[in-house]
Amino acid sequence: MPQIILECSDNILEKDFKPLLSQIHQLLVEKLPTELKSCKSRVLRHTNYLLGDGSSNQAFVHLSINILSGRSMELKQLVGATLMEVLMEAFHQSRETLELQLSIAIQDLPGIYLKG
């Protein structure tokens, strides 16, 4: 049931995120493991943001993944490192052109999680 939230500044050059999200889903299915049908992703492009001194070549991509508790810290670190490689490849054009900051947070959902 991973909740995947990809946030980025609106100056990111890449526009089609579906292939990346699909790749993230497959990675989580293989590494966590989880069921593909339980992966839920969304992208938030931010138009109002400030990075560093505010220069227009500053950009960010932040990936948050919320999962049910029970996975080891080692597994989360392995998944995070693999995801960082995926992000670096997916955003190679922005990395070459902009001062891009990439970050990832993998955290457990709180004790109560309800779905209908």
Cα(66)–Cα(73) distance, integer angstroms: 14
**pTM for this structure?**
0.94
Closest Cα to residue 91, out of 64, 48, 62, 65?
Answer: 62
Cα(78)–Cα(21) distance, integer angstroms: 18
Tell me the pLDDT tens digit for each residue of 19-78: 999 999 999 999 999 999 999 999 999 999 999 999 999 999 999 999 999 999 999 999
Domains and CATH numbers, the chain: 3-108 (3.30.429.10)
